[in-house]
């Protein structure tokens, strides 16, 4: 078996690893906003834009973590990150390295990729598709 074939066999599993790692990091942003964990931060007022973003990060991140409704959730979260970048980061500077928007851009495009690729082999979506 050649290298390309071997790597192709692992592609659905590594897609799941990407989804899981991105979800865990995304949830961390939400827990920081809403729960003050891992770093205490002022909790935003309920139903404010920051509060809604934090809830989306926790709930959407949780769904992505287990791979449930991956495509629609990833679509919504990709849009959230695009919105976050243009609202919170871009006005500060043209350059993402200066405006702190690197993570928002990466999350946006990882989630956009998941819209098209799905959740991978280790997801609830894949298990539901395999069920008789």
R_g of the chain computed on alpha carbons: 16
* Rounded CA separation 8/76 (Å): 29
* Rounded CA separation 119/107 (Å): 15
Single pTM value for the model: 0.93
Which has the higher per-residue pLDDT, 132 or 104? 104
Integer angstrom CA distances of residue 53 from 1, 48, 108, 112, 128: 46, 9, 14, 18, 29
Domains of the chain, residue spans: 12-127
Say whether pLDDT at 41 is over 80: no
Q: Closest Cα partner for 54 from 27, 81, 72?
A: 27
Q: What is the pLDDT of residues 56-110, one digit of tens each?
A: 999 999 999 999 999 999 999 999 999 999 999 999 999 999 999 999 999 999 9
Residues 6+ apart with CB under 8 A from 30: 53, 54, 55, 56, 57, 58, 59, 61
């Amino acid at each position: 078996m050649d290298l390309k074939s071997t790597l192709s066999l692992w592609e659905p599993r590594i897609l799941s690893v990407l989804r899981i790692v991105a979800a865990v990091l995304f949830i961390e942003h939400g827990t920081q906003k809403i729960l003050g964990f891992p770093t205490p931060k002022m909790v935003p007022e309920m139903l404010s834009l920051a509060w809604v973003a934090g809830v989306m990060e926790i709930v959407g991140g949780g769904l992505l973590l287990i791979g449930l409704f991956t495509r629609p959730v990833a679509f919504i979260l990709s849009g959230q990150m695009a919105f976050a970048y243009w609202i919170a980061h871009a006005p500060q500077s043209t350059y993402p390295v200066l405006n702190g928007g690197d993570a928002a851009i990466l999350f946006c495009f990882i989630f956009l990729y998941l819209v098209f690729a799905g959740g991978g082999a280790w997801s609830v979506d894949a298990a539901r598709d395999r069920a008789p």
